[in-house]
Structure 1
Amino acid sequence: MPNTPTDLIRRSLLQSAENFTALAEQAGLVADLAARMSAAIRAGDKIMFCGNGGSAADAQHLAAELLGRYLVNRRALPAIALTTDSSALTAIANDFGFDEVFSRQVQGLGRPGDVLVTISTSGNSPNILQAVQAAREIGIVTIGLTGSSGGRMADLCDVCLRVPSAHTPRIQEMHIAVGHMLCELVEADLA
């Protein structure tokens, strides 16, 4: 089988297209996640996001879309990425360990009625799992975005969207697409 750059590109794009076609079957779940987020904001609560690596970048991106704007000018929506405060991240990691970098922030910033969106391709990141557990103890709605296995997050989150892939780059592509859909739906509902 040839393995030219063109072959790699075609294979990747076709795989992505198949994954997105399969993801379309979960449209109702995506709409439910957006409704939960909108309800929290309407009640005066906030949306928190967290993830590691590329998922940390997605968390920041999605929080910014809600706080700033996605497609239309409207009021700022209360959203925060727990991945952005380098002083908090490094202090917590140094004093308590990296597994607690998000759970400590959830404990300090989260309130009952808030929503925590956790993003993990494996669904097994220890710091994400601890954040979900901390959120559940407070009464925060937990939403997970994972790969096809769901990992341990699938059983811990109130709602877990498992995108149809086990391949990290393809999972991340679908996560940001789902995140954009969530922002668009929330914005349309609340603008």
Structure 2
Amino acid sequence: MTLAETIGLYLAEKRRIVEDFPVAVLERAAGMLFATYDEGGTVYAMANGGNAGTLDHFYCDFKHHPFVTEDKTRPLPPDVKRLSFVNLCSSAAELTGLVNDIGADDMFAASLAPVVGPGDLVMAYSGSGNSANVTKALQVAVEAGARTFAMTKGDGGRCRELAEVCLVVPGTSRFPGQVGKNDNNFHFEDLMLSVNHMLVGLLKQRVAARHLG
């Protein structure tokens, strides 16, 4: 296969995923986000590896983008409620401290347990759906009565069992670097950012409709 053909393979796979995207599942996730915002709850998000870095993008978007004017020249009035968003991956000091003290499997659960409750939304991102640190934190969220959303691929793993709403990225891949145990991983990671943008845009639309007419 030539380089051009391999690049074309990636793009063809991407098109199929977009065509098969589970819109109804994301619609349910948006409903949970809206309810959390309306009730003054907090969104907590977690992921591993490069996906933890993507959550910094999520944090910036969710915290600011829905709450500026359409031309981005000024924020909405201060009486417009903002969304509380916590990236559980944001502090290297906290995470390494928790890993050192209680172990990697429990680091997100330990960070989440003292603060999460009903009215909050916990968002979990795991390609396998079985990352122990993610599934243990999801269990904490469920027991606390929080809303739970997970994004996975393949069969969804434990995340699919635990989360109230689970978005499973469809398809499989033959592209180098995302076969075998990493099947569809690049597409999963690409789609994380798309899911973020769709949710942020939908929240922005909702906020604008309420406060800008």
Give the alignment of 1:130-149 within 5 angstroms.
Answer: 130-149=136-155
Structure-2 separation of matches of 1:149 and 1:63: 28
Name structure 2 gaps, 5 residues minimum.
Answer: 70-75, 172-182, 209-213
Q: Which residue of 1 aligns with 2:36?
A: 40
Q: Percent identity?
A: 28
Q: Which residue of 2 aligns with 1:97?
A: 103
Structure-1 separation of matches of 2:137 and 2:204: 26
Structure-2 separation of matches of 1:184 and 1:31: 12
Would you say 1:18 and 2:16 are equivalent positions?
A: yes
Q: Which residue of 2 aligns with 1:127?
A: 133
Q: Which residue of 1 aligns with 2:170?
A: 164
Equivalent residue of 1:143, what SS?
Answer: strand
**Which consecutive aligned stretches of 4+ in structure 1 deviate over 4 angstroms post-superposition?**
none
Would you say 1:113 and 2:116 are equivalent positions?
A: no
Q: Summarize deviations over 1:126-161 as a string: whole Å, max 9, x none.
A: 000011011111111110001131111100111111
Would you say 1:178 and 2:195 are equivalent positions?
A: yes
Q: Which residue of 2 aligns with 1:27?
A: 23
Structure-1 separation of matches of 2:67 and 2:53: 20
Q: Summarize deviations over 1:49-80 as a string: whole Å, max 9, x none.
A: 10001221222221221112158444542111
CA shift at 1:190, angstroms?
2.4
Q: Summarize deviations over 1:27-60 as a string: whole Å, max 9, x none.
A: 1221111111111111010111100012212222
Query: What is the TM-score normalised by the length of structure 1?
Result: 0.92
Would you say 1:82 and 2:80 are equivalent positions?
A: no
Would you say 1:54 and 2:76 are equivalent positions?
A: no
CA shift at 1:111, angstroms?
2.3
8 Å Cα contact 2:28/2:165 also seen in 1? no
Further displaced range: 49-58 or 63-72: 63-72
CA shift at 1:100, angstroms?
1.2
8 Å Cα contact 2:47/2:89 also seen in 1? yes
Structure-2 separation of matches of 1:137 and 1:122: 22
Q: Summarize deviations over 1:149-190 as a string: whole Å, max 9, x none.
A: 111110011111111034101111122211211111122112
Further displaced range: 166-175 or 47-56: 166-175
Structure-2 separation of matches of 1:63 and 1:99: 23
Q: Tell me the amino acid that sits aligned with residue 190 of structure 2.
A: E
Structure-2 separation of matches of 1:164 and 1:27: 12
Q: Tell me the amino acid that sits aligned with residue 62 of structure 1.
A: F
The structure with the larger Rg is: 2
Q: Which residue of 1 aligns with 2:72?
A: none
8 Å Cα contact 2:66/2:207 also seen in 1? no
Further displaced range: 34-43 or 174-183: 174-183
Structure-2 separation of matches of 1:183 and 1:98: 30
Further displaced range: 126-135 or 165-174: 165-174
Query: What is the TM-score normalised by the length of structure 2?
Result: 0.83
In structure 2, do the counterparts of structure 1 residues 14 and 72 end up closer, same or farther at CA, with 3 Å as the change threshold? Answer: farther
CA shift at 1:112, angstroms?
1.8
